[in-house]
Structure 1
Amino acid sequence: MLWLQAFEAAARTLSFTQAGQELAVSQSAVSQRIRLLEDRLGQKLFVRHARSLTLTPAGRAWLPSVQEGFARLAEGTAEVFGPRVEAPVTLRATPVMQQTWLAPLLLDFHRRHPQVVVRLVSAIWRDDFGPEGADIEIRYGLGHWEGSVAFSLGDEELLPACSAGTAERLATPQALAGETLIHAVGFAVGWSAWLERAGVPGLDRQCGSLICDSQVMSLSLAARGGGVALAHRSLLAKRADLVAPFALSVPSDEGFWLVRPARRSPRPEALLLWDWLVAHGGETNGELP
């Protein structure tokens, strides 16, 4: 078990040092456990660089099975023995949802239910969500996740967002020529879809580009006058540092969802937070100020 814990933590963080901090052991102890595990398996799991780690193909292929095994073990233990009373409610969400939608709700929830400890975990990529077990997640997608209960936070549409100073230059979509378009990867709807809907397909070839791996960064750059980003209308409505230069939006089949495991009944503290978030789910769909 110690070998598997060392592998899962090191594979997730790609750092023996961070894995050791999580497991409360030294970096060398983690490294030794990994070497013993590799000897036992007869294959290397990591490629060791001077200052970093990468997983080998075998390590990448094995990691989901190990994580799922730990998740099933934790769920089975909770079902038989019950969760620890002092265990916090773990809520996983993207940084942009944490900052824009969750922050005020969690503060209000904490004031009303100070006895419930909430542990907030960040996730950016789709693979960051999964079997290693949060009580509740806020995911972005179509809402079809096997083994999960999902509640829609509303339909979504995307539209350009930028600083007030940048917006003064943008009387029409054609005025985007020469501006910097900020892209957030991982969304089904992007700039090409909005430009086509605006009647200026291909205009992005006349624009500069910045590409971000998270929407929180793309919106931060736009707010600082670094260009124009695509934002979800529901989140843009809650930001005072961004404006929408055009009313035109493009709908998305994807959206934000509250998600929890279907295999086990939520404990009372988690259900209390779930019900709170469900009750306030409609607040993601505000009108632009």
Structure 2
Amino acid sequence: MRNLLEFLGKHNHWFLFVLFEIIGLVWLFRGHTYQGSMWFSSANVVAGKLYEWDSKVTAYFSLGDINEQLTARNVYLESQVKVLSDRLEQTSADSTLLAQVKAQSLEGYRLIPAKVISNTISEKDNLITIDKGEADGVKKDMGVVSGHGVVGIVYLASAHYAVIIPVLNRQSNISCTIKDRGYFGYLHWDGGYTDMAYVDDVPRHARFRKGDYVVTSGYSEVFPAGIMVGQVKYVFNSADGLSFRLKVKLATDFGKLRDVCVVDNTELSERMQLLNAAKDSILLKQKD
């Protein structure tokens, strides 16, 4: 304490000078507007610089958090882009498929696009599962087609899925005709090659040649007429010699099957039921 008092006593003139300077400055800035405004302006500039430096330092040390936020945002945006891209791709694929299918004599029919989620081709009785069911309008016995031709017939349908009996199933039996010839038969698959099937019961008097196209006949409630089935590659005699058996290269590549359309056959079924009722009525009148 003694040393402190000696120090203050020795340098008291400097402390008095600083005190008088402070009093003078306060009197000057309070009593004179111009000097006061200059002081506060200078002080504001200095304070502004200090705040600017503080802001930059704070921003620098906050870069880690900002980068994390930007990364999370980028991940979210990328996921949204992927979702939108997938939707656009699916919409484009559906539009292309619908255009291809409608070109196969299906203009005017309601078509239900679907994805193949399960498909076998190596069994004797293959099955296909699609991702659409009764909630989408799919019903038992509706026809199923691809962008190239016939696929099969709906066998079972739940709310959101359906099982198809494809051409590559020994239980499949589809009425067909030789395009522009008028002769018809029934499409069967005996196993073996997945790109070949047979049309049986073609009459002996039928006139056709290799390379002719086979299409659906429209003689059932399942498929309208004119949907592509395949192309005649070989001609055989039936076992009893009373008809021809045609070996047909299938238009649909079942090994690459991904997108299909279910054909809403409600109107076709109604027409066939009316036709059958008319036939039954005629038969009854003939019996009378």
- Shorter-chain TM-score bucket reads under 0.3
TM-score for both structures, normalised by structure 1: 0.22
Which of 1 and 2 has greater Rg? 2
Query: TM-score, structure 2 length as denominator?
Result: 0.22
| Higher relative contact order (Cα pairs below 8 Å, separated by 6+ residues) | 1
